Amino acid sequence: MKHIFFDLDRTLWDFEKNSEQALRILYAELNLGDHMRDFETFFKSYKKINAKLWHSYGSGKITKAVLRIKRFEDTLKSFQVAAPEIAQKLADGYVAISPRQKNIFPNTHEILQDLKKQEKQLHIITNGFKEVQFIKLENCGLLDYFDVIICSEDVGKNKPAPEIFQHTMKLANAKPEESVMIGDDLRVDVQGSERVGMTGVLFDPHRQYKDRAHEWQINDLSRLPEIIPFMPTSI
C-alpha cells in the first residue's frame, strides 16, 4: 500500500479528552455550576446531544451553523436553562479552545514517522470543520506528516459519501487498490472507503465494537505497520 489515509478526530486527535478539557474550562468561566449539579452531569448530557446533532449534520439535515449553537442550546435546555447568551458564549468558546488541546492517541507520532520512513504518502480525510482541523494538526505537531488534507466542506459531502474519498484520492494521485483508510467509525470511515475500492481499517481504542467486527481491526495505532503488508491488495 502506497497511500495511507487517516481520519482525524478519535483516530489521531483524542476528541473525547480534548473536548472534555475545553468544556471544563468553559464550565468554570461561565459559572455553569450555578445552574446544574456538576460538570459530569453537564458533560454527559452534552455528549449525547452533540452525537445526535452530528449525525444530523452528517446526513445533511442541519447546517454547520445550526450544529454549533444548537448543541449548547439543547444541553442547557436539558437543565431547564433558557439562556441564549450563555449558549452563544459556549459555542464561541468551544471552537476557540477545543482545537488547541493537545491530547493525541498513544504512538501517533511514532507510527506516522515509521510510515514516512517507509515512503508511504499520508493524507487526512475528515468531516470536521475546516477552520479548526488545521489548528488541531498544527498545534499537535502533526501537520507536516500529511500531503493531502481534505475536510468535508471542501467537497460539499460528508463521509461516507463516495465523493469525498474519490476527491481526496484524485488530489493524492492515488489508486483505490493502493490506498488504506484508517478511522474509528465502521460505517463512515471503513465501509465508506471500501465502497470506492479502498481497504478500510477500523481503529477501536476503546473497544466499542465486537472483536472481529471487521477484518482489519486494531486497538492501538502501533499495529498498523504490522498489518499493512498482509493486506491482499498490497502492491
Average pLDDT over residues 125-146: 95
In sequence order, which residues have a C-beta less than 8 Å from that of residue 111 and are 6 or more positions away? 221, 222, 224, 225
Mean pLDDT of 50-72: 93
Per residue in 163-196, pLDDT tens?
A: 999 999 999 999 999 999 999 999 999 999 999 9
3-state SS record for 36-59? CCCHHHHHHHHHHHHHHHHHHHHC
What sign does the dihedral 165-166-170-173 (CA atoms) show? Answer: positive
* pLDDT, tens digit (0-9, with 9 covering 90-100), for 91-109: 999 999 999 999 999 999 9
Residue 29 pLDDT exceeds 60: yes
- Show the CA angle centred on residue 45, arms to residues 76 and 47, nearest 5°: 115
| SS3 state at 9 | strand
pLDDT tops 50 at residue 116: yes
pLDDT at 205 over 50: yes
- Rounded to whole angstroms, what are the CA distances from 30 to 3, 26, 45, 83, 85? 45, 6, 17, 12, 11
State the pLDDT at residue 108: 98
Burial of 153 (C-beta count, 10 Å sphere; 0-12/13-18/19+): middle
Neighbours of 185 (CB within 10 A): 22
For each of the domains in the chain, give its residue range(s) and CATH number, in order of start. 3-13+104-230 (3.40.50.1000), 15-100 (1.10.150.240)
Average pLDDT over the chain reads: 95
Q: What is the mean pLDDT of residues 196-208?
A: 96
Nearest to 200 by CA among 220, 227, 226: 227
* Residues 6+ positions from 169 with CB-CB distance below 8 Å: 3, 175, 176, 179, 196, 198
What mean pLDDT comes out for the span 3-20?
97
Look at strands 179-183 and 148-151 and give their pairing: unpaired
pLDDT at site 14: 98
Share of the chain above pLDDT 70, in %: 99
Return the residue matching grid coordinates 488504506.
180
Contact 226, 116 (CB under 8 A): no
Total residue length of the chain = 235
CA 231, CA 36: separation in Å to the nearest integer?
51
What pLDDT sits at residue 60?
86
pLDDT computed for residue 168 by the predictor: 98
Query: Do the beta carbons of residue 229 and residue 217 sit within 8 Å?
Result: no
- The pLDDT value recorded for residue 233 is 59
